[in-house]
């Protein structure tokens, strides 16, 4: 069975991460699948809106740590291409909605944030536990977090590495709608239907206008920050953090 599924019904595309036993961790198959699907969506005239969801209890737990650990232990480049995928999703001409039923952590949190709208179950949690893995958030992803919740809450989320519950996430602007688990699917697709019933040229134009309004962020020189991200990914602490998470123990960080 495929790790990522894609259907279109009555103008609404649904993209489903389908690794429930792995909490929909982003492996190579899912990352590649997102790229292929969103390329196809750009030229599909029947699509008006896209819903991104995860099968099972979790929305997405972030990068597949076993794949990441394998790259680290083999001294391969730990770059995954996930930043580019999130930017591709954000830049899609179609409005996108994240349907968040459970944990949206690390890359899963950023995936939700790069969608235009987020509908969350009150059982969901949002978090960026990168500091617990010895990693540094890539600049474009940190930028997105600041853009949505502001610098004060970004500091809390990134520096503590602790998840926040759905109610708190809604209060600080991480989600647009908070509903019970039993209402989540109906609420998400009702929102999708409302959007899909609007004029497609208007939708594309509105989204392009919003993206242009925030495009100045792309002019910021962040080469020094990219280097910090790369150093952290290749560090002994990052290897230790990922291994400790996989082995379900407390990491021992040494600052190198």
**Distance (Å, whole) CA 101 – CA 43:** 29
Q: Is the pLDDT of residue 210 over 70?
A: yes
Q: Is the pLDDT of residue 162 over 90?
A: yes
Non-local (6+) Cβ contacts of 80 within 8 A are: 26, 31, 63, 67, 68
Whether residue 200 is predicted with pLDDT greater than 70 in this model: the reply is yes
Counting beta carbons within 10 angstroms of the beta carbon of residue 101, is it exposed (0 to 12), middle (13 to 18) or buried (19 or more)?
A: buried
Determine if the pTM surpasses 0.85: yes
What are φ and ψ of residue 63, in 5° steps? -60, 150
Per-residue pLDDT of 9-64, as tens digits, reads 999 999 999 999 999 999 999 999 999 999 999 999 999 999 999 999 999 999 99
The pLDDT of residue 110 is above 90: yes
Secondary structure (3-state) at 233:
helix
pLDDT above 80 for 85: yes
Domains of the chain: 4-201 (3.90.226.10)
For residue 91, what pLDDT is reported?
96
């Amino acid at each position: 069975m495929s790790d990522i599924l894609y259907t279109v019904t009555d103008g609404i595309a649904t993209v489903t991460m389908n690794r429930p036993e792995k909490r929909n961790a982003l492996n190579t198959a899912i990352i590649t699948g997102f790229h292929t699907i969103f390329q196809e969506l750009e030229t599909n005239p029947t699509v008006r809106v896209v819903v991104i969801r995860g099968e099972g209890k979790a929305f997405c737990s972030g990068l597949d740590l076993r794949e990441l650990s394998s790259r680290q232990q083999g001294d391969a480049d730990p770059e995954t291409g996930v930043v580019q995928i999130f930017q591709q999703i954000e830049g899609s001409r179609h409005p996108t909605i994240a349907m968040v039923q459970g944990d949206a952590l690390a890359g899963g949190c950023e995936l939700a944030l790069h969608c235009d709208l987020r509908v969350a179950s009150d059982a969901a949690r949002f978090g960026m536990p990168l500091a617990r893995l010895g990693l540094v958030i890539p600049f474009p992803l940190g930028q997105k977090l600041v853009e949505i919740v502001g610098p004060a809450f970004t500091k809390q989320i990134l520096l503590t590495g602790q998840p926040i519950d759905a109610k708190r996430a809604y209060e600080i602007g991480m989600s647009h709608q908070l509903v019970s688990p039993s209402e989540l699917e109906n609420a998400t697709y009702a929102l999708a239907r409302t959007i899909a019933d609007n004029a497609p040229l208007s939708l594309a134009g509105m989204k392009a206008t919003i993206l242009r309004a925030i495009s100045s962020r792309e002019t910021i020189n962040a080469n020094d920050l990219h280097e910090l991200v790369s150093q952290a990914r290749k560090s002994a602490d990052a290897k230790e953090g990922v291994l400790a998470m996989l082995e379900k123990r407390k990491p021992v960080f040494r600052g190198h």
